[in-house]
Structure 1
Amino acid sequence: MVVIRLSRGGAKARPFFNIVVADKRTRRDGRFIERLGFYNPIAKGGEEGLRVAQDRLTYWKSVGAQASPTVERLLKQAAAKTAA
C-alpha cells in the first residue's frame, strides 16, 4: 500500500519533516516515491511552517494513497488557516 507520511530530517532537537509518498513497508526515513512538501514545527515569525503541493496530493489520493493521521491533521489545520 502507498501512504503519505512524514519523514524526519533536521538536527537533534531541531526537527524538520518532509511530507512524502512512500510504500508502507519502507522505513520512516528511507526510500520514498515523491516529496510533496514539508512541515517545520519550530517555524517562527515569518517563516513558512507548512507547504504542500495540493495538485500532487490530490493525484496521489485519487489513485488510492492513504495519508497518515498526522498528515491528515496538518492538512486540516492548513485548510482552516487559509479559509480564515
Structure 2
Amino acid sequence: MVVIRLSRAGAKGRPFYHIVATDSRNRRDGRYLERLGFYNPVARGQDQPLRIEMERLNYWAGVGAQLSPTVERLVKQSKQAAPAQVAA
C-alpha cells in the first residue's frame, strides 16, 4: 500500500522533513516513490515552513494512497493558510 508520510532529514536539534509517497513497507527514511514537498518546523525569518505540491498529492490520494495523520494535519494547515495568502 502506498502512504504519504514524513521522512526525516536535517541535523540533530534542527529537524527537517520531506513529504514523500512511499510503499508502507519501506523504512521511514528509506526509498520513496516521489517527493511531494517539505516541512520545516524550526523555520525562521524568510524560511518557508511548509510547501506541498497539492496537484501531485491529490494524484496519489486519487490512486489510493493513504495520508499519515501528521501529513493530514499539515495539508489542512496549508489549505487554511492559502486563502490568506491569496487575499493579501
Work out whether 1:81 is the aligned partner of 2:81.
yes
Structure 1 residue aligned with 2:52: 52
SS in 2 for 1:72: helix
Unpaired runs of 5+ residues, structure 2, are: none
Task: Name the aligned partner's letter for residue 82 of structure 2.
Answer: T
Aligned counterpart, 2:33: 33
Which residue of 1 is the match for residue 11 of structure 2?
Answer: 11
Cα deviation code 1:23-46 (max 9, x no counterpart): 001100001000001000000122
RMSD: 0.7
**Deviation >2 Å, runs of 4+:** none
Cα distance in structure 2, aligned partners of 1:3 and 1:60: 9
The number of equivalent residue pairs is 84
Find the aligned partners of 1:64 and 1:11 in 2 and give their Cα distance: 33
SS at match of 1:83: helix
Could you list the runs of 5+ residues in structure 1 that have no partner in the other structure? none
* Matched residue SS, 2:45: coil
TM-score (norm. length: structure 1): 0.96
